[in-house]
Amino acid sequence: MHIPDGYLSPQTYLPAYAAMAALWTWASKRINNTLRLRQVPLLALGAAFSFVIMMFNVPIPGGTTGHAVGAVLIAVLLGPWAAVIAVSLALIVQALLFGDGGITAVGANCFNMAVVMPFTGWWTYRLIAGRTPAVSRQLIAGAIGGYVGLNAAALSTAVLLGIQPLIARGYNPFGLKVAVPMMAGEHLLLFGFVEAVVTGLVLAYVARTDPSLLPQAVPSRRAPIVRLALALGILVLFTPLGLYVPALMKAGGAWGEWGPEELPAKLAEHGQSAQVPIHLERLSAVWKAPLPDYALPGLETAPLWQLSLIYVACGLLGVLALTLLVLGLQKLFARKDTDELPPGVDATTSRT
C-alpha cells in the first residue's frame, strides 16, 4: 500500500497533503489533551512497531507481497488520534530514509494507513468490544478491527490509484477495474488475516504482561517500557524473514509498488501497452533515498545473507530514528501527568 512517486497526479497528492496537514494539526491538539508524558515512550514504541511490522513481507506464491501495519493496535491502546501521529511518522521515515513509499505520495499514504485504517478499525473494535472489561472479547474485537481496518485502507489506496487514468494521463496506468479487484482480493483473502493475527497476538501479549494498558482497565502509573522494548528488539532480529520467505516462494513486490524497470512486465500481464507513463517515469527519480529498499546503494543484488544483515541494521536505524523523533516532539502532543497539572485543570483521560 506504499504508493511510490509518479503513480499519483498533483490533482491527487496535493489535496492529500493539504488534508493531512489539517489532520496532523488536529491530531496533535487532540492527543495533547489526552496523552500523558509517561505515555510518550509507548507512542514511540507504537510508531517503531508499525515501522518494523511493515518490514515483514508476506508473499502470495508466485505473486506479490503485502504486510501488516499495526495501526489498529496503536488505536486500541492509545486512541486513533495517537495512531494518526505514530503511523504517519513511521511512513515518513520509511519514505525519507528507505524510499518505501514516494515523497509526493506521503500525504496519500498517511491518509490511507494512518487515518482510514486506524479509525475504521477502532470504530469496529468499539462496536464489538463495547465497554466490556472482558479481555477475550477485547482480543477478538481487536483482531476483527485489524482485519476491517487493513481492508478499508487497501480499498482507499486502490481508489486513489484507480482514478488516475480518469483525471490525469501519464501517471498510474491501472484503472479502477484493475486496481480495486487486485487490492481488495489480496487483502480480503490473505493480508487482512495477517493483520488480524498480529493485532490479536500483540493485544494478548499486552494483556498478559500489563493488562492496565488495555481499554476499560485501570491505568497504571508505570508502563512496561523495558519488556516491550526488548520484545520489539527481538522482532527486529527476525525481520530478514521478510526477505527469505518471499524469495523462497518466488513472490514479487507488492502490487502497485513497482518501479519503472518492473512496470512494463506488469503492464503486459494486464494486456496494456508496455510503455511506462511519462510522468510516472519522471517523478520516480524525484527522491533518492540514502538506503533504498532497506539496502546499501549498489548492493541491491548482494547475497541474501548480506542483505539480511543490512535489513536488520536498517530496522534498528528506523526504530532509533522514530524513538528520537517522538521523544523530540513530545512537547507538541503530550501534557503533564495528573499530579503535575495545575490545580483546577481537568485531568480526564480519553482514548478517542
Instruction: Give CA angle at 326 (123, 70), nearest 5°.
Output: 35
Q: Are 39 and 306 in contact (CB under 8 A)?
A: no
Domain that holds residue 68: 10-340
pLDDT tens profile 168-197: 999 999 999 999 999 999 999 999 999 999
How sure is the predictor about 344, in pLDDT bands with cuts at 50, 70 and 90?
Answer: very low
CA gap 146, 151 in Å, rounded: 9
Output the domain CATH number for residue 282. Answer: 1.10.1760.20
Q: 296 vs 348, which has greater pLDDT?
A: 296
Residue 343 has pLDDT above 70, yes or no: no
Q: pLDDT tens-digit profile of 93-121?
A: 999 999 999 999 999 999 999 999 999 99
Residue % of the chain over a pLDDT of 70: 91
In a domain, 243, yes or no: yes
Residue 8's CB is within 10 A of a number of other CB atoms, namely 28
pLDDT band at 68 (very low <50, low <70, confident <90, very high): very high
Is 252 or 163 the better-scoring residue by pLDDT? 163
In whole angstroms, what is the distance from residue 100 CA to residue 93 CA?
A: 9
Does residue 235 lie within any of the structural domains?
A: yes
Kindly report, residue by residue over 232-244, the tens digit of the pLDDT. Answer: 999 999 999 999 9
C-alpha dihedral sign at 67, 73, 78, 83? positive
pTM: 0.92
Is residue 347 in some structural domain? no
Is residue 4 in a domain? no
349 part of a folded domain: no
In a domain, 214, yes or no: yes
pLDDT at 332 over 80: no
Beta carbons within 10 angstroms of residue 299's beta carbon: 11
Residue type present at position 345: V
User: What share of the chain has pLDDT > 90, as a percent?
Assistant: 70
Instruction: Tell me, yes or no, whether 29 lies in a domain.
Output: yes
Task: With respect to residue 3, please indicate whether it lies within any of the assigned structural domains.
Answer: no
pLDDT at residue 93, as a whole number: 98
298 dihedral zone (left: phi>0; alpha: psi -120 to 50; beta)? left
Predicted pLDDT at 61: 62
User: How far apart are alpha carbons 156 and 146 in whole angstroms?
Assistant: 15
pLDDT at 345 over 60: no
Which one, of 243, 246, 189, 195, lies nearest residue 65 by Cα? 246
CB 26 within 8 A of CB 352: no
How many independent structural domains does the chain possess? 1
The pLDDT score that the predictor gives to residue 347 is: 35
